[in-house]
Structure 1
Amino acid sequence: MKQIMRITILALILISNIGFSQKKVTELKFDTKYFNAVDKWVAFPKKDKDSTYVYGFIYLDNQAGFTFNYETKFQIKEQELINIKRDSIVGLMKYRLEPNTSLVSVLTENQISALNLPKEPEWLSIYKERSDQVDYLKKEGYHFNHVGASDLALEPLLKAYEIDPHFDGLEFELSYAYNHLGQYEKAIPILEKAIENNPENYYFYRELGFSYVNLNKIDEAEKTYRKGIKMSDNDFEKSEMAVNMAQAYFKLKNKKKFDEWAELTRKYAKENSQYVQYIDHFELNWNKK
């Protein structure tokens, strides 16, 4: 009798585990940003009235940016993923992913297996041929910086920096990533070496001034921004440097210095631009705590 009960309980456990496993296979979690799903199979949310999910592979095209390679669609029926055969007249379809792209569900190993997919597509190797070279790594970092994912930009940028620190555009991307992440102390030595190598690049002064401002090194920031403004031929960049200094003096309640940098902001910024609106806001709220 005890033996029969043991077998019955074991059978129940097996049935329970099978049900749990099926649930796992069909469970989709749309909680991942596309730039966190590079080199992964993903599914996109379906529309309310739709019964199918679009899926495919996200990769980084070093020239064009983050790209979704459409595979086909699947349905979920009776706890199974059912592939929907793609129309034979439909060729390879690729979509460049924009900042407003919806969250995706990264497919699990079980889901990839259920859909009879390889770990990664064969064609992916084409986009990885030069992935250990400086220009590739710098561009990879640029794409991550461009979408605000500077934490992901650091790895390729640091690899490139070890190979050729003065490669065109690399020092800017690396210092930008550090500044974006609030790691200002790490950005400063990168920029100091960059300026020593190329003192005519005003972008280096813009980033270095930003580092100093956020470390409350106001004198250093002001000297740096003045140099950057002097050599820049770009009014927008000049206005950005100026408004950063104006904001710093607004926080310090140094009216004389604020007025000086507010005037420079208005000089270089377009009328009714966001930076001019910032200056107006600072002036209206000067006496408020």
Structure 2
Amino acid sequence: MKSFLLLLVLLSTHLNAQKSLTFDKTNLQCEDKWIVYQMDKDSIYHYGFIYIDPQAGLTLHYEGGFKIDKKGTFYKVDTDKKKDVAFIKIRLQPNKIAIAVLPEEKFSELNIQKNPEWLAIYKVDEGSVGRLYLWGFMYNGWNEIEKALTFLEKAEKIDPNFKGLQTELAFSYNAIGFYDKAEKSLKKAIANNPMDCYTYKELAYTYTKLEQIDKVIATYDVMVKYCKETNFIQETAYNLAFEYFKTKDKTQFNVWKIETKKWSKTENQYIKNLIQMEAELNKS
């Protein structure tokens, strides 16, 4: 009977927790939010505040642990956190681990503020074009393209000629299939900096997606003439070879296979892929 009653208490606590906490977010969705990790083996929920450090990237300000009593009240408990520090900062890598946003009505129970006082140092120049560009750049790197665009498009309204901005916008547009927009951004970028090889590489990719192969080749010729970054040149040559592979044009595939190999000192994934493509073409 005692075991049965204990089970009911634990079940009740768990149900109360489920009502308060919904574990349906990833860490990248929780910038500037108090979050909770799922309960550990000791029935402790670990929580903290996720923010972005401009130098370190995605960061967790770990605050500690709490439990939930049978009434659904959150109360702090001791954890293994070092006793000589008030908090621990943990650099995060984007992942798909399900976490919960801490409900605002529970802040008082844990004695926390919606916006911690220390957060202010990370909000300096929050609306500046440089900060918006950096946040967009980071979210693009984390493959959160639509979130990146919320920052980059704001930055463009402030200063469309900010260094690197138009190319980063184009990267976002390419990622979501807005190739016409990407082309416009890249042309602006080239007008501002006609010697940026990454921009040309992105433009060649855009023309590939627009199925404007003549323009891809013209862009490639510019890259060969001016670019020192041979990896960008090789990627563009490889993309052209792949396009001709898809249309089973053996002659042009061979041309661009040779071009791709020309820019590689050692066998890499591009070369391995081309060998497989060539074998496939030879079957037909």
TM-score in terms of structure 1 length: 0.85
8 Å CA contact 1:26, 1:80 repeated in 2 = no
The worse-fitting range, judged by mean Cα deviation, of 182-191 and 156-165 is 156-165
- CA distance, structure 2, for counterparts of residue 272 and residue 31 of structure 1: 43
What aligned pairs does 1:53-72 form with structure 2 within 5 A after superposition?
53-72=45-64
What aligned pairs does 1:1-289 form with structure 2 within 5 A after superposition?
23=16, 27-47=20-40, 49-78=41-70, 79-85=72-78, 88-100=83-95, 102-286=97-281
Unaligned runs of 5+ in 2: 1-11
Give the 4+ runs in structure 1 shifted more than 6 A.
none
- CA distance, structure 2, for counterparts of residue 142 and residue 258 of structure 1: 34
- CA distance, structure 1, for counterparts of residue 101 and residue 283 of structure 2: 48
Q: Structure 1 residues 125 and 24 mapped into 2: Cα distance closer, same or farther (>3 Å)?
A: same
Aligned residue number for residue 9 of structure 1: none
SS in 1 for 2:228: coil
The worse-fitting range, judged by mean Cα deviation, of 102-111 and 180-189 is 102-111
8 Å CA contact 1:26, 1:81 repeated in 2 = no
Deviation at 1:31, TM superposition (A): 2.5
Aligned residue number for residue 8 of structure 2: none
The worse-fitting range, judged by mean Cα deviation, of 204-213 and 229-238 is 229-238
Aligned residue number for residue 15 of structure 1: none
- CA distance, structure 2, for counterparts of residue 134 and residue 107 of structure 1: 31
- CA distance, structure 2, for counterparts of residue 284 and residue 99 of structure 1: 38
8 Å CA contact 1:41, 1:55 repeated in 2 = yes
SS in 2 for 1:31: strand
Q: Structure 1 residues 113 and 260 mapped into 2: Cα distance closer, same or farther (>3 Å)?
A: farther
8 Å CA contact 2:17, 2:68 repeated in 1 = no
SS in 1 for 2:163: coil
- CA distance, structure 2, for counterparts of residue 43 and residue 229 of structure 1: 51
Q: Structure 1 residues 81 and 61 mapped into 2: Cα distance closer, same or farther (>3 Å)?
A: same
Deviation at 1:207, TM superposition (A): 0.7
Computed over aligned residues only, the root mean square deviation of the Cα atoms, in angstroms, reads 2.3
Unaligned runs of 5+ in 1: 1-18
8 Å CA contact 1:25, 1:111 repeated in 2 = no
Paired-residue identity, %: 39
8 Å CA contact 2:21, 2:103 repeated in 1 = no
Deviation at 1:218, TM superposition (A): 1.4
Look up the equivalent residue of 1:176 and give its one-letter code: F
1:82-108 per-residue CA deviation (whole Å, 9 max, x = no partner) reads 212466412432111113463321122
Q: Structure 1 residues 113 and 286 mapped into 2: Cα distance closer, same or farther (>3 Å)?
A: farther
- CA distance, structure 2, for counterparts of residue 222 and residue 108 of structure 1: 55
1:169-192 per-residue CA deviation (whole Å, 9 max, x = no partner) reads 212211111111221111110111
TM-score in terms of structure 2 length: 0.86
- CA distance, structure 1, for counterparts of residue 277 and residue 38 of structure 2: 43
8 Å CA contact 1:161, 1:170 repeated in 2 = yes
The worse-fitting range, judged by mean Cα deviation, of 112-121 and 233-242 is 112-121
